[in-house]
Structure 1
Amino acid sequence: MTVSVDVTEDVPELVASAAALFAEDAGSRDPRMDLGWPAREGAAYYQGLVQDENALCLLARADGAAAGHLIGRLLPVGSLRPKAVRAALESMRVAAEHRREGVGEALVSAFVEWARERGANELVVQAYAANDGALAFYRAQGFRPFEVTLAREA
């Protein structure tokens, strides 16, 4: 398994992995999510991220095929918490056939190293409250609940 940081040529595989994440995760948990977004806007979005110095695009490969991706970004320092230099793990997916093989851990480890090199002192990730697998994985990677967003129908 390898993790590639220079994914300029791999944007179509990033889009495919993101589309699979949308379908698998949001598709079963968020009826308001636009599941067609990756196909419509993903190529331009991820191409922009690949060229953004404040963003990280990783693609994991196993046996020559895409096994997962991770998108991270540095967040602007806010005036309410000026000592918090935050990096967000924006998006991550490991293909079902490669779960429990260390792919997710390798992606998160690369993200943590990238964020630390850029001065981040706080890492954040969001997951659906109903996604027990993702929550357990992120906890195993050292993430802990910090803020909770509650939602209800209007």
Structure 2
Amino acid sequence: MSNRPGIDVDEAALSDLDELVRLESSLFRDDAGTHDPLVDITWPARHAREDFVRLIGGASTVVLVARYEENIRGHLVGYLSAPSPTRFDRRTAEIRSLYVDSAVRASGVGQALVTSFMTWARTHEAVAVAVSAYTANEGARGFYEHLGFAEQSVTFRLLLDD
């Protein structure tokens, strides 16, 4: 799926489950664990395997893996929104999660995953791709801005006292 030398992006298979759980666990620990006190960073260890089994091969979902130097070094989970009458009956493709091993972050693996996802989205008649990133995650924000994504909205949260 990828056209970047040395990087192969494909739809995930059930044989990739161990690596997908490893990557999702790293994402929860490194991203949500740093930026969101309400996220249970142990969730992937308990539930990610069954979640990936449900997602792989879904009609409106895609799980992509990126192989770099012959090893899975990144993944992307995405889905299609239902067509919405408030959006002229158009659908959006959403990136639910994206993670690239820190040792290969400047290699183009993330860009290859997003490019492959955009191709998948177009073939499923999506007119836009959306993704959320924590405000404090400047690396993710810069990555998406570099790829042409523009900030559209901001979510505000107030933690209530116990």
Task: Tell me the TM-score normalised to structure 2 length.
Answer: 0.90
Q: Which residue of structure 2 lines up, in the alignment, with residue 35 of structure 1?
A: 41
Paired residues for 1:7-86 under 5 Å: 7-86=13-92
Amino acid in the other structure paired with 2:151: P
Q: Which residue of structure 2 lines up, in the alignment, with residue 143 of structure 1?
A: 149
Instruction: Supply the distance in 2 between the matched residues of 1:109 and 1:23 (Cα, whole angstroms).
Output: 25
Report the CA distance between 1:65 and its aligned residue.
1.8
Query: What's the CA shift string for 1:2-57, capped at 9, x where partnerless?
Result: 11214221022111100000000011111110111111110010111003121111
**Which segment is superposed worse, 111-120 or 139-148?**
139-148
- The root-mean-square deviation of aligned C-alpha atoms, in Å, is 1.2
**Which segment is superposed worse, 90-99 or 4-13?**
4-13
CA 1:100–1:38 in 2, change beyond 3 Å: closer, same or farther? same
Report the CA distance between 1:82 and its aligned residue.
3.5
Amino acid in the other structure paired with 1:93: Y
Report the CA distance between 1:83 and its aligned residue.
3.5
**Fraction of identical pairs, as percent:** 36
Aligned residues: 154
Counterpart secondary structure, 1:150: coil
- 1:153 equivalent among 136, 148, 159: 159
Amino acid in the other structure paired with 2:142: A
Counterpart secondary structure, 1:80: helix
Instruction: Supply the distance in 2 between the matched residues of 1:80 and 1:69 (Cα, whole angstroms).
Output: 31
Instruction: Supply the distance in 2 between the matched residues of 1:85 and 1:62 (Cα, whole angstroms).
Output: 31
| Structure 1, unpaired ranges of 5+ | none
Paired residues for 1:83-94 under 5 Å: 83-94=89-100
Q: Which residue of structure 1 lines up, in the alignment, with residue 140 of structure 2?
A: 134
Q: Which residue of structure 1 lines up, in the alignment, with residue 119 of structure 2?
A: 113
Query: What's the CA shift string for 1:102-143, capped at 9, x where partnerless?
Result: 101100000000000110001100000000000000011111
**Which segment is superposed worse, 141-150 or 76-85?**
76-85
